[in-house]
Amino acid sequence: MPSMFHSRMLIALILAIVAIGGIRVINARTESDVTPLPNTRLSEQRDAIVTQPPGFNKNLYAISDPSSIWVVVNKRRPLSPKTYTPSQLVVPNMPLRLGTGSSEMRVSAAMSAALEQMALAAKKEGANLMLASGYRSYGSQSAIYSSHVKTYGQVSADRQSARPGHSEHQTGLAADLEPSNRTCEIAQCFGTLAEGKWLAANAYKYGFIIRYRSDKEAVTGYMYEPWHVRYVGVELATEMNKQGTTTLEEFFGLPAAPTYE
């Protein structure tokens, strides 16, 4: 018969084996509660969850404040007040169609550096951009619109010129661009030139969008303007390019604005 000592040793060994088995069972259950992604290690899955980027924040800037870089201005969303004037306008360091004394050669300080960088980058690739028109006051836009109505009639004028208080140019965040040799100046053929093609492909990298696309008149209310860029910041411009969304109305889920209310 085994001694009392040997009996105690045998019992202790059995208890140890049971305890180790229990730990393994607990560990197995803990890991099995997390379903691993296909072809990934558990540690990699945890890292992916931690580093997953948040969604795009569409509320980062206001879309109704005329001083906001995301303000949406169209035929059904007038500026408030309609006579709004940007607080800081500057002349960008780039080729200008008119002299520095012209108010149209000024733009919002919020976008001047980006406009300069874009013009410089375009020049390095053989696209020579020039500022044709930047900021326009309420009074200036009123005169331009009235001239269009007199020349082309009301219906045609509304397709190519904004009524005062409804113009992006009045925010200082829009710019009409053209080649420095003035070929296809403020004309749709600008889109076929090296400058127009470069702008369409690269503007978003500097925070700009081509505001009035050829297939979006039913949304924006304006005919194709490949020369008209609008500054919205690199973050939004890049996100719109990524999603393939070309109008601010569609991106922010706003009603189309083909006509004035």
Average pLDDT over every residue of 70-94 = 98
Q: Please give the Cα distance from 207 to 47 (Å, whole number).
A: 32
10 inside domain: yes
Q: Do 246 and 131 reside in the same domain of the chain?
A: yes
Distance CA 121, CA 134 (A): 19
Is the pLDDT score of 111 beyond 80?
yes
Do 96 and 213 fall into the same domain? yes
Rg (CA), the chain: 31
256 domain residue, yes or no: no
Q: How many CB atoms lie within 10 A of CB 147?
A: 12
21 with 126, same domain: the answer is no
- pLDDT bin (cut points 50, 70, 90) of residue 44 is very low
User: Does the residue 234 lie in any domain?
Assistant: yes
Rounded Cα distance, 118 and 128, in Å: 10
Query: Closest by alpha carbon to 199, among 105, 128, 134?
Result: 128
* pLDDT band per the 50, 70, 90 thresholds, residue 8: low
Residue 94 and residue 206 in one domain: yes
In a shared domain, residues 93 and 158: yes
Q: Are residues 192 and 117 in the same domain?
A: yes
The pair of structure tokens assigned to 83 is 């006579």
Asked if residue 113 and residue 213 are part of one domain, the reply reads yes
- pLDDT tens sequence across 130-185: 999 999 999 999 999 999 999 999 999 999 999 999 999 999 999 999 999 999 99
Environment class of residue 180 by beta-carbon count within 10 Å: exposed (0-12), middle (13-18) or buried (19+)?
middle
User: Taking each helix axis from N to C terminus, what angle separates 194-202 and 109-124, rounded to the nearest 10 degrees?
Assistant: 120
Q: Say yes or no: 28 and 100 in one domain.
A: no
In a domain, 67, yes or no: no
225 assigned to active site: yes
User: Do 137 and 214 fall into the same domain?
Assistant: yes
Max CA pair span of the chain: 122
| pTM of this structure | 0.80
261 has a pLDDT exceeding 90: no
Q: Is residue 243 part of a domain?
A: yes
- Looking at the structure, do residues 46 and 109 belong to the same domain, yes or no? no
- Let me know if residue 125 belongs to a domain: yes
Sheet strands side by side (includes 225-231) = 129-133, 174-179, 225-231, 208-212
Considering the domain boundaries, does residue 216 fall inside one?
yes
What is the number of structural domains in the chain?
Answer: 2
Domain contains 83: no
Mean pLDDT of the chain: 87
Torsion, Cα of 145, 206, 202, 181 (10° steps): 50
The residue behind tokens 């500054």 is 231
Neighbours of 192 (CB within 10 A): 12
Burial tier of 136 (Cβ tally within 10 Å: 0-12, 13-18, 19+): buried
pLDDT of residue 17: 47
Query: Does residue 183 share a domain with residue 120?
Result: yes
Catalytic residue among 104, 178, 195, 225: 225
- Specify whether 129 is located in the same domain as 220: yes
CATH number at residue 187: 3.30.1380.10
Q: Which domain holds residue 38?
A: 4-51
DSSP-derived 3-state class of residue 9: helix
| pLDDT for the residue numbered 129 | 98
What whole-number distance in Å separates Cα of residue 128 and Cα of residue 171? 25
